[in-house]
Every structure is written in structure tokens, then in C-alpha cells.
Chains A and B, each alone.
Chain A
Amino acid sequence: MATLEIKNLHAKVDDQEILKGVNLTIEEGQTHAIMGPNGTGKSTLASVIMGHPRYDVTEGTITLDGVNVLDMSTDERARAGLFLAMQAPQEVPGVTNSDFIKTAMNARLDEGENVSLFKFIKKFDQAVEKLKMREDLPHRFLNDGFSGGEKKRNEILQMRMLEPAIAILDEIDSGLDIDALKTVGQNVTEMQDGKRSFMMITHYQRLLDYIKADYVHVMMQGRIVKSGTVDLVRSIDENGYDWIKEEVGIQDERVVPQNDDADEQTVLGSCATREAMEK
């Protein structure tokens, strides 16, 4: 379907640089897993690809089959084939799931054309069944009052309905119980048809037990610092990230370094000294 190419991507929010030179190419049909400790820029990368208005790209390029993505608005990117299942999906009270998805599907058709109601309902019902969601889903307001797991499944339902060329799934496994994880895994696997590409952000190996990934990347300090195959995930699951930090010579893996530890130590130190002196 399409190839996504990210080159030397730098992005900032409120004058704070978060992404510091990301390079990643996802070819048609490939599934890439992105891992990395908290606060290393994974969700930011997903948001920047989707065009969230809060982030400014200061350097680098993103292209979809050679076409500049950075020139497109968020909705244009979606219509060009990008999809982002968000880590924390928004609640939109007042807007029903079915109105929302119908409008999203119609937005992909020519002006004046609409999806047939019959086909829409059939497809929706099927997706609801496949994701084992509540049957009243179409009439409920979008994510409004949904449980954490329901929200995640609703993201995958939207992906099923919209059939993107490239799907970015940001921690789709968090908040899912073990059965739901399996259901979501099956749904994603079903959509891995050799043409559609995936970028899956996750913290755990267990997601990759359900969904096959071709490559695994580790992000630290706003960059990809290590890439490999699923073997890499196993090492991370067993040994954590310290060995990678050591290997690439990083002390604080976070994008925005926090000096709190160091501060606390000095304070502790002086108190301890004072206490010792008083004795």
C-alpha cells in the first residue's frame, strides 16, 4: 500500500525539543515495534506523524510514498492513509460512534458520494462482533464513559472500518485484560495482509506474542538508539534497558532530563552530614 519514511526528524513542544533526529523507514507490508522507557518520545513521534498541532517540526522529513507529509493537515494525512490509535483516546460526548465513523468514511469518498447505509451497518456490526464490543456501540457517544479497555478496542474498531495503509498503534495493549489482548491481537493480525504497514508502540513482549513484528526499535532521548528483530524484545523483557543504555553510552534515557535525583542526593547528603556533625 505505502512506504513511510522518516529522516532526521526533530520536533519540539513549547520550545522544548522532544524528538532529536529520528530515522525510520517502514516499507509496505512491514510491522515495526517501537519500545523504550517512559518519556523517551514514542508517543510524540506518533503525534508528529499524525500532525498534532502542538508539535513543531524543526528539522527533517516525513514522506509517504515520497510525498511530503509535513505539508498536510491532520485530516489530509488520515485521508492519505495514516491512522493513529492513540494512547489516550479522547471522549467526545454528543457525537455517536456511528455518525463519527460514517462521516470519516464519507470524507474518503468524492464530494457528494456517501457510503451505502446497508454496507456501513453490515461492516460495523461485523467489527463490533470481531472486537467483542457491546452491541449498542453505534449509538453510544464516542468513547464517552468507556472503560479503558473499551476505548482501546474502539480504536481498533475504527481501524477496521477505515482500513488505513499505515496504522500506528500507541500502547494498544495497555489497559486490556488478557482476553481482550488476544481479541485485539487477532484483529490486528487479520489486518496484516502483507500490504498494510504497522508501527506498534509497546512496553511488553506479550503484545508481540499475538502480533508478529518484523523489526523492533528502541527509543531513548528522542531518537532510535537500537534496532533489531524480535530477539531484542526478549532481551528487554528479561534484562530491562540498562544494557542498552550502557551499550550506547546513555545515562538518562529521557528526553527531558530530570535532575531531581541528583538534587535529592545533595540535600540528603548535607542533612546526613549535619546530623553526623550534631551527634
Chain B
Amino acid sequence: MQVSPNNAPELIAPLLNEATYMLYISQGKIQSNTLPEGITITESTPKDALHANFVSDDPLVSHNQSNHDTAITLEVKEGITLDAPIMIMIDGSNYDYTVNITYDIHPRACIDIHEYLYSTSDHTLNYLSQTHVGEQAQVKLIGIANLDLMSTSSVQRLVRSQASSHTEVRTAQLGNGRTKQDVDMDLLGEHAYGEVRTVAVASGNQEVLINTHLEHKAKQTEGYIEHYGVAADESYLGFEGTGKIHKGMSQSNAHQSNNGVVLGEYARLDANPLLLIDEYDVEASHGAAIGRIDEEQLYYLMSRGLSESDAQRLIINGFLAPLKSMMENDVMRDHIQSLLANKTGR
């Protein structure tokens, strides 16, 4: 029997109900889906030809590629433009499992995908998505993770972009569990544009590792990595960002920024931005600005009557403004605000 979105856990049901198109996976299988015309879904590992693009030297990636409980391929037909995002809801509660989704986006398609990873139990969720972005396709991939305090998860997203495509990956780590997130993007065709923007909030004694790897394997490609983070309590948050321009890939741009706020005495936040460049005719930059909340700003807000926690909340919300681009409807906005308040509202 299928679980309808209405029977989904209370926290995520409204999000599913709000979605025009959705795919809901829980207990290791597809529970329901409403997908539009032009998108086909197959429950299998990706086709070999496509798979070759996603060969990785990360052992965890290869493991998840070959060992999984659920494997799905979503094929988006050439030239399709969707009027609303597709919501992919994955509930990792009550089972240890590995989900593998391949998005095969054909040329000139234009699509927004919103993934929401969720769990309320102390299980392990491994998630791997492989996105193939065809020539001139435009893809926005939003991934929000809200995983339980006791859970452990690894979330990997591989993206391979063909010529003149435009890909934006925006992720938010807002759960309480131990999490490792990898985004690995290859710009394979000339004039491909790729952007990876991540917001992570660590609290309690959580450990969150964010790895972003963006490789320029064609000429005139453009890549941006942006990390925004807050580490509170006794948590650890690590940003590892690498932009790599291969030899001969002239007139490419690789940029990276890291912005972090550390709350309290015991939290730690590290950023290690790396630029590997094997070509002269390029533009590149990287930087990191990590610090505490400015005492003078806090004082200024408090001098108008805001409590310290209100003042701190406003400053952090402002700092995490990139999250706003992930809130495409009111339900999602309220949802994200409440997750944030839970983690930083004290």
C-alpha cells in the first residue's frame, strides 16, 4: 500500500502537500509520486553510458554507487521546462539505508529540483545523487537536510555539466546529526556555469563536514563555491572547498568564498579554501572570513531594546541570507525559519 503525503510525518506533510510535483521515498521505497509529463522514472541503477561520467576516486561514492537499497533514475526529456519544482522527499527514519538517485537531464531542459532529507531516528542515511546536465540545460538543485540528533549521514551529490549548461546547487545542513556532505561538480563542456552554495548550521556537539569540489575540465567555464556557516555550542563545522582548473582550460573563472560565525567559546569552525590552477589565462579568487558576532553590532541592536537572543537571531538570519533563495514558498520559509530558530535561538 502506498503512503500518501497526508500520512507522512507531521513535519514534512505540509511540504509535500505544497509541492506541485513530488516523489516521496520512505522505508526504503517509493511511497508516492506525482511527476509531470516529460519526466520518466525508472527504479534501477543508471545506464552504463551515463554511469561512466560519475566514476569517482572517493571510496564512499563508489560504495554507494554499487551498494544501495533504492536506486532511481529520473529522466528529464529534451527541452522540457517545468512550471514548478519537483520535490524529492526522503525520509530516512527507522532504517539504515542508502538511496541513489540519478537525474538525467537532457539538453535544453529547464528544471528545479528540491531535495529534502529527513530522519527522526538514530539510523544511518547514505544519499547519493548523480546529476547529468545536458547541453544548454538549466538546473537548480536545492538540497535541504534535517537529520536527527542521533543519526549519521553522508550526502553526496555529483554533478556533470555539459556545454553551455547552467547549474546551481544550493544546499542547507540544518539537522542535528553527524553529517558529511560532498558536492562534486565537473564542468565538462565549454561555457558551462556551475555554482555551489552551502549553508550549514552546527550545534550541540554535532560534527558537520562540508566538502565542495569543482573542476573545470573545459574552456571558458565558470565556477563559484560559497560556504556560509554557523557553529554553536560545542560543535565542529568544517568547510573544504576546492576549485580546480585543468591545464589548457583557458578563460575559465573559479571563485570561492567562506563566511562563518562562531557562537560561544567552545564551537569550532574551519575553512580550507583551495585553488588548484594549471593554466595562466584564468580568473580566480578565494577567501575566508570567519569570526564571532561583532560586539558593537550586538550592543547597537540591544540599545534599541532587543534582547541579546533576538539581536543574535537577527544578525545570524542576516548572515544566512543565502538560505532565502531556498525558500520558494511560505510553507518552506516558515519551516526553515523554525529549524534555524531551534539551532541558534538561545
Contact = CB atoms under 8 A, between A and B. Distances in A.
B295 interface: yes
Interface string A90-116: 101111000111011001100000000
Contacts of A101: 304
Interface string A192-213: 0000000000000000000000
A103 B310 contact: yes
B9 interface: no
Nearest to B310: A103
26 contacts: A53-B295, A73-B302, A73-B308, A74-B303, A75-B307, A78-B304, A84-B303, A86-B300, A86-B303, A89-B300, A90-B296, A90-B297, A90-B300, A92-B318, A94-B319, A95-B315, A95-B318, A99-B314, A100-B306, A101-B304, A103-B306, A103-B310, A104-B304, A104-B306, A107-B307, A162-B305
Given A78-B303, A107-B305, A162-B304, 8 more contacts: A74-B303, A90-B300, A94-B315, A94-B317, A95-B315, A101-B304, A104-B301, A104-B305
A69 to B, nearest CB: 13
B280 interface: no
A9 to B, nearest CB: 18
A73 B297 CA distance: 15
Nearest 6 CB-CB pairings of A with B: A94-B318, A78-B305, A90-B300, A104-B304, A75-B302, A74-B302
B302 A95 contact: no
A92 to B, nearest CB: 5
Interface of B: 294-297, 299-308, 310-311, 314-315, 317-319, 321
Given A90-B296, A90-B297, A92-B297, A75 B318 contact: no
A30 interface: no
Contacts of A40: none
A14 to B, nearest CB: 15
A107 B303 CA distance: 12
Nearest to A85: B303
B307 to A, nearest CB: 5
A271 B305 CA distance: 57
B299 A100 contact: no
B306 A92 contact: no
Contacts of B311: 75
Contacts of B307: 75, 107
A139 interface: no
Nearest to A74: B302
A79 B301 CA distance: 12
A192 B303 CA distance: 21
A158 interface: yes
Interface of A: 50, 52-53, 73-75, 77-79, 83-84, 86, 89-90, 92-95, 99-101, 103-104, 107-108, 141, 158, 162
Contacts of A52: 299
A94 B312 CA distance: 12
Given A84-B303, A94-B321, A75 B308 contact: yes
Interface centre among B299, B305, B307, B310 (most CB of A within 10 A): B305
B309 to A, nearest CB: 10
Nearest to A52: B299
A81 to B, nearest CB: 10
Contact of B314 (A83, A84, A103): A103
A190 B321 CA distance: 37
Nearest to A90: B300
Given A103-B310, A103-B314, A141-B318, A108 B305 contact: yes
Contacts of A77: 303
B318 A107 contact: no
Contacts of A86: 300, 303
Contacts of A92: 297, 300-301, 314-315, 318
B320 to A, nearest CB: 8
A73 B309 CA distance: 13
